[in-house]
Chain A
Amino acid sequence: MNIFKKHMTLYLMIAPVAIYFLLFAYYPLARGLMISFQEFRIIGDNTYIGLQNYITVLSDPVFWRVLVNTLLIGGGILLIGFSFPILVAISLNEVLKVSFKKFTQMVIYLPHLFSWVIIGGIWIYLLSPDGGLVNEIIKVFGGEPIHFFTQEKYAKPLMVFTAIWKDVGFLCILYLAAIVGISPTLYEAAKIDGATRWQEIRHILIPQLYPTMKVVFLLNLLGVLKIFDQIFIMRNPTIAREVDVLMVYTYEKGILEFDMGVATAASFFVIFATLILTLIARKLLRFDEEA
């Protein structure tokens, strides 16, 4: 008990957070778990039906299709969305003109301020074959307008692209904060050794970003199977099969078909899959090692 007493203040500090999560995350989660074992009705008693909802989900071919979509789109967002901001951050760090740097930093954060309703609308409009900016440019160069949002081959890349486009500025700022925090003494030492700029980036800057990279990767990983708003806004029936993801599936089951039992069971698969991915990632990244 001594050890507990010694850390009393610390436990006190985290207590509000613990209470919050208990009440607003774990308790609802436990009740959600119960719903997933029930035949759900909006009013009245729900009867327990064991694993039936889970079996329904697993035997639904649509579920497997959306799972594959989720992994492909999520994987794309995870990998490119992880590395692209690093590139931009380094590239921005190279710029000497402070005003340009500040301006760029500000502007690339802008898409992050918009909700997906707005971003989706903007891109559908920009890529429209009727008067959309991108196709107008293609026409100027003598090309045929491309129907971006109705062709299956563009569907997944488009989702990955827009997701990255929206968040690059935000993630970039995380990296910039880390870059600026690098001690100048490290560079000076390299200068003395006659290192080129490229060598400096390669051997000093990037290694210093590892802790931030780990966190960003983990943060992205935890959210990647939950993507919903974006897809929901930007999908249309012609590409639905290519882009519908797990959470769109649960939305359709739960809110359109009012079958919360099945919807909740499906969302527990999301939790479960994320859990596995995270465990693997934590092992691989050795995330828990003290920095």
Chain B
Amino acid sequence: MQKWKQWSKKYKTFYVLNIVFLILLVATMIVPLLNTLTVSLSSNIASMQSGIKIIPTEISFEGYVTIWQKMNLWLPFYNNVLVTVIGTFFHVLLSALAGYVLIQKGLPGKRLMMSLILLTMMIPGEAIMIPLYIVNKDLGLLNTLASLVIHGLVSGFSVLLLRNFFMNISYELAESARMDGANDFKILFNIYLPLAKPGLATVTLFEFVSRWNQFTPALLYINDSTKYTLQIALRSMILSNDATSSSDFITPNVRMAGIMIAILPLIVIYPFAQKYFVKGIMLGSTKE
């Protein structure tokens, strides 16, 4: 607060406006979440009633009970964790390898590799939906969790991001290590990765989230219900089937409970990831 006194009037105004702006932004993001939470905690009939629901008034776990009774979610949950953790690990590893290669000076074919990797990001899923299925089929991956780990094993997006983080690390550090006889693997793992922790954290978090939410590949490649992932198991609960005379009736509290179950792990993990992430930034910033 000492600083406050030193500030110019203009800056004070700016500071206050700035805080207000951020609070408004935060509000737009937190209201929907509270709404989802509140509806998930209301009773069947109450959840269908209109009105603004941001703060739970009476708490009922009817929705959660229904969804756990209907679906045995432990197995899908376990599958989801497995696929997400293993998939994210390899994804980050491979992307880091590629990102590292792409910052090397004077490497023949580098620009071409770069272009080819960029090109993969332009391909819309639908253009290759059927051929990709055939590849999975021919490799015997259909109906295995491995197919879900392999789907998106590496992405141009992550490669590009990590390459960018690596580029900010001084090249001389690597050169001097090389002089000392370190090979590329050593340089990457001992010098680049520790220094690029914010980058790694960003990519890991990003990949983790998108893998956790992955739906279409799981829908297409998995037939056996013991290999269902959480998203597949929950989808029939979250989405209502339109335009059929089917009699499934799923109340909003059940739907929202499904949503909460699906995102809760992410919300729980996120503060930890962020803590690490902030630490990573600190480490990164003391590099010079």
**B68 at the A interface (CB under 8 A):** no
Are B123 and A25 in touch, CB under 8 angstroms? Answer: yes
Chain B hits for A30, CB < 8 A = 131
A10 with B160, Cβ < 8 A, contacts A28-B128, A104-B26, A268-B127 known: no
Whether a CB of chain B sits under 8 angstroms from the CB of A280 is: no
| Interface 0/1 of B144-177, CB less than 8 Å to A | 0000001101101101110011011000000000
Question: Which residue of B52, B97, B105 contacts A131 across the interface (Cβ within 8 Å)?
Answer: B52
A195 at the interface (CB under 8 A from B): no
Task: Decide: A275 near B259, CB < 8 A? Known: A17-B94, A112-B209.
Answer: no
Question: Knowing A17-B98, A118-B36, A218-B160 touch, does A88 contact B284 (C-beta < 8 A)?
Answer: no
Is A286 an interface residue, CB under 8 A from the partner?
Answer: no
Are B263 and A113 closer than 8 Å at their CB atoms? yes
Closest to B93 in A: A16
A131 with B104: CB separation less than 8 A: no
**B123-A10 in contact (CB<8A):** no
Instruction: Confirm or deny: A205 has a beta carbon within 8 angstroms of a beta carbon on chain B.
Output: no
Beyond A95-B22, A181-B284, whether A107 also contacts B30 by CB under 8 A is yes
Q: From B39, which residue of chain A is reached at the shortest CB distance?
A: A125
- Interface residue tally on A, bucketed by range: 35 or more
Q: Contact check, A20 vs B154: say whether CB atoms are below 8 A apart.
A: yes
Interface of B, secondary structure class, is helix
Contacts of B135 in A (CB 8 A): 23-24, 27-28
Quick one: which of B95-110 are within 8 Å of A by CB?
95, 97-98, 100-102, 104-105, 107-108
Is the beta-carbon distance between A27 and B202 smaller than 8 angstroms?
no
Interface segment out of the listed B58-66, B77-85, B265-273: B265-273
Instruction: Please provide the chain A residues from 251 to 291 with a CB less than 8 Å away from any CB of chain B in the complex.
Output: 251, 254-255, 260, 263-264, 267-268, 270-271, 274-275, 278, 288, 290-291
**How distant is the Cα of A177 from the Cα of B239 in the complex, in angstroms?**
37
B55 on the A face (CB < 8 A): no
Residues of A within 8 A of B (CB): 3-4, 7, 9-11, 13-14, 16-18, 20-21, 23-32, 35, 88, 91-92, 94-96, 100, 102-115, 117-119, 122-123, 125-126, 130-131, 133, 136, 165, 168-170, 173-174, 176-178, 180-183, 185, 197, 211-212, 215, 218-219, 222-223, 225-226, 228, 247, 250-251, 254-255, 260, 263-264, 267-268, 270-271, 274-275, 278, 288, 290-291
Residues of B near any A CB (own CB < 8 A): 3, 11, 15, 18-19, 21-22, 25-26, 28-33, 35-36, 50-52, 94-95, 97-98, 100-102, 104-105, 107-108, 111, 113-114, 116-132, 134-135, 139, 150-151, 153-154, 156-157, 159-161, 164-165, 167-168, 183-185, 188, 198-199, 202, 206, 209, 213, 215, 238-239, 259, 263, 266-267, 270-271, 274, 277-278, 281-282, 284-285, 287-288
17 A-B pairs in the complex with CB atoms less than 8 angstroms apart: A9-B185, A13-B98, A13-B184, A24-B153, A28-B131, A31-B128, A32-B130, A108-B26, A113-B263, A130-B50, A177-B198, A178-B168, A181-B285, A211-B167, A218-B118, A222-B156, A288-B111
